[in-house]
Amino acid sequence: VRDRVPFDHLKPLFPNEKFNLTKGHKDNLSCRVVDMFSPIGKGQRGLIVAQPKTGKTMLLKDIANAIADNHPEVYMIILLIDERPEEVTDME
């Protein structure tokens, strides 16, 4: 802890490469909309907040599948908080 650099002195690392979510997923409208209006870059973190039963998990699943298909070199970590067990099983 003594050797840790203070947060104010750390350099930010901005994403320099954009994920392509639509290649091979042209029929998926949600991925196209995310790609057009809020593109995701390598190294970014994201948060999806919405009302229950609006399709948050389905959107996250579509984005994760598109990234896995188009960018196989990427290591993804997805955290599902307070989700139903069947949705967690479906994400695997």
Query: Whats the size of the chain, residue-wise?
Result: 92
Which parts of the chain sit beneath pLDDT 70?
25
d(CA 19, CA 15): 10
Q: Would you state the pLDDT for residue 84?
A: 82
User: Long-range contacts: 26-30, Cβ < 8 Å, 24+?
Assistant: 28/62, 28/66, 30/55, 30/58, 30/59, 30/62, 30/63
Q: Would you state the pLDDT for residue 25?
A: 64
CATH of 7-91, one of 2.30.30.90, 3.40.190.170, 3.40.30.10, 3.40.50.300: 3.40.50.300
Q: Would you state the pLDDT for residue 40?
A: 92
Segment 13-28, tens digit of pLDDT: 888 899 998 877 678 8
Enumerate the domain spans of the chain.
7-91
Q: Would you state the pLDDT for residue 89?
A: 84
